[in-house]
Amino acid sequence: MIRKLLVANRGEIAIRIARSCREMGIESVLAASQEDLSGMAARYFDDVVSLGEGDSRETYLNVGRVIDAARASDADAIHPGYGFLSERSELAAACEKAGIAFVGPGPDVIELMGSKSASRQLMTRLGVPVVPGYDGEDQGLERMVTEAAQIGFPLLVKASAGGGGKGMRVVREAEGLADALDAARREAGKSFGNDRLLMERYIERPRHIEFQIFGDVQGSTVHLFERDCSIQRRHQKVVEETPAPHFSPELRQRMSEAALAAARGVHYTNAGTVEFILAPEGEFYFLEMNTRLQVEHPITECVTGTDLVRAQLRVAEGRPLPWRQEEIVQRGHAVECRIYAEDADNDFLPQSGTITSYREPSGPGIRVDAGVTRGSEITIRYDPMLAKLVAYADSREAAIDRLVRGLREYVALGLTTNISFLRRVVDHEAFREGLVHTGFIAEHIESLRKKRPDEVASIAAVLAGVVGREARLPRASAFQPSVWDSLAGWSQ
């Protein structure tokens, strides 16, 4: 039994895990950088412990400090959340050595699936389709050029380690290959400490489909259906939904069997995701396995009626999965938007500043997982995601309508966010028709650009400042007006 859980993370995912702990009667400890100890997430934990000062390399990515924090707080388990150390085998191995339960798969599985080259080779042996490509040991330019000619152009150069689009380049002609390899190798080495590359055939206009899988130490493995994560910018997901649109039962069956084969092939335990590229012609190919909880897990929880974090903790205790495959069914449709502090109309440039006015949408079928509130300081030190907005309804059309309504009601002022951009994406005719692919935003960028005059944003910013000053004055009433009240119903 897990008695006390240490969460080595920050923001909305830390809060999400703490909520499940509270429901389960598990004591929770937040291990955070010194500057985050007074942040919003700390309010949800029974205790907090400092990882020290400095950037993420010195705090959230420092395995020794995380283990020391667990020992200092007498925690008997560690949940890494996502990002940071969640897919670093070093933390899972250190937990084993220290006798601390790690909420995730074993270090061998994390290391194996963290290598795109090794995982591709394994999937080939398991009979899981992979994109034609090259992932050999010989990384010399001459060999890479020869292999590229065999693969054909366009092709994709990408880092063997890591993810998030770093160390990735699309090469459309042989003349650009050498420069792309050099640039990808430098970026991969800087980001992941590993400059090994692989090359794959570039699939035009693909969809990004992933299957949520779960395994236990008793050997049972299940899937909790698919998520379509095709709406992306810079290879980063922006909008996710389940069930996937225009997705036949036959295709779902074939892809779920491939996902389970991948999971069983590595004796996977706990929560994970098998990701695929789906070509327009209907062929699908293994992309990677994420050995952690995904950002977009709430939409799976909505349509399956599950608590994936609760299940993670039970499996980490050595218990069997709480469901059999035949008991897991999809009901309704869920769509998630990631709320970022970024200027979508200025090349998605990350933003920093103080949130001066904040109000989340609510009502039937609306869920918000947030790590910020009014007064939160947003820096460019970490990922710019502020929150996740999820809409759930009986049908895809109703879920999208509900999501558009939620985005209209969402208020986050003081810095630029992508809220209005997201509304334009999910209300776009092509999105509503389910005509999604990973190049959707680039293809429709002109129609997705902001149409409102800049003066409107300026007026809203001024009014936000007025509201902020009024809020600091003594009041007879506890009512705090929103900037939108002053704007008489105008929505951003």
> What pLDDT score was predicted for residue 167?
87
Which amino acid is it at 294? Q
> What pLDDT score was predicted for residue 125?
96
Q: Are 126 and 159 in contact (CB under 8 A)?
A: no
Q: Is 207 a catalytic residue?
A: no
Distance between CA atoms of residues 421 and 428, nearest Å: 11
* Ramachandran bin of 442, using left for φ above 0, alpha for ψ from -120 to 50, beta for the remaining angles: alpha
Q: Are 390 and 366 in contact (CB under 8 A)?
A: yes
Token pair of 32 as six digits: 């955070």
- Please tell me which residue in 233, 292, 374, 423 is annotated as part of the active site: 292
Distance between CA atoms of residues 326 and 334, nearest Å: 21
Q: Measured in whole angstroms, how far is the alpha carbon of residue 479 from the centre of its chain?
A: 35
Distance between CA atoms of residues 217 and 58, nearest Å: 33
Question: Could you read off the pLDDT tens digit of each residue along the chain, which spans 492 residues?
Answer: 999 999 999 999 999 999 999 999 999 999 999 999 989 999 999 999 999 999 999 999 999 999 999 999 999 999 999 999 999 999 999 999 999 999 999 999 999 999 888 999 999 999 999 999 998 999 999 999 999 999 999 999 999 887 667 889 999 999 999 999 999 999 998 888 899 999 999 999 999 999 999 999 999 999 999 999 999 998 899 999 999 999 999 999 999 999 999 999 999 999 999 999 999 999 999 999 999 999 999 999 999 999 999 999 999 999 999 999 999 999 999 999 999 999 999 999 999 999 999 999 999 999 999 999 999 999 989 999 999 999 999 999 999 999 999 999 999 999 999 999 999 999 999 999 999 999 999 999 999 998 765 444 555 555 555 555 555 545 444 334 444 443 433 434
Q: Are 39 and 10 in contact (CB under 8 A)?
A: yes
CA distances from 491 to 177, 192, 411, 420 (A): 47, 42, 9, 9
- Nearest by Cα to 199 from 241, 154, 248: 154
pTM: 0.88
Domains and CATH numbers, the chain: 4-103 (3.40.50.20), 132-201 (3.30.1490.20), 207-448 (3.30.470.20)
Q: Tell me the CA end-to-end span of the chain in Å, nearest whole number.
A: 48
Give the helix ranges, DSSP H, for 176-248. Answer: 177-192
> What pLDDT score was predicted for residue 460?
55
Q: Are 368 and 330 in contact (CB under 8 A)?
A: no
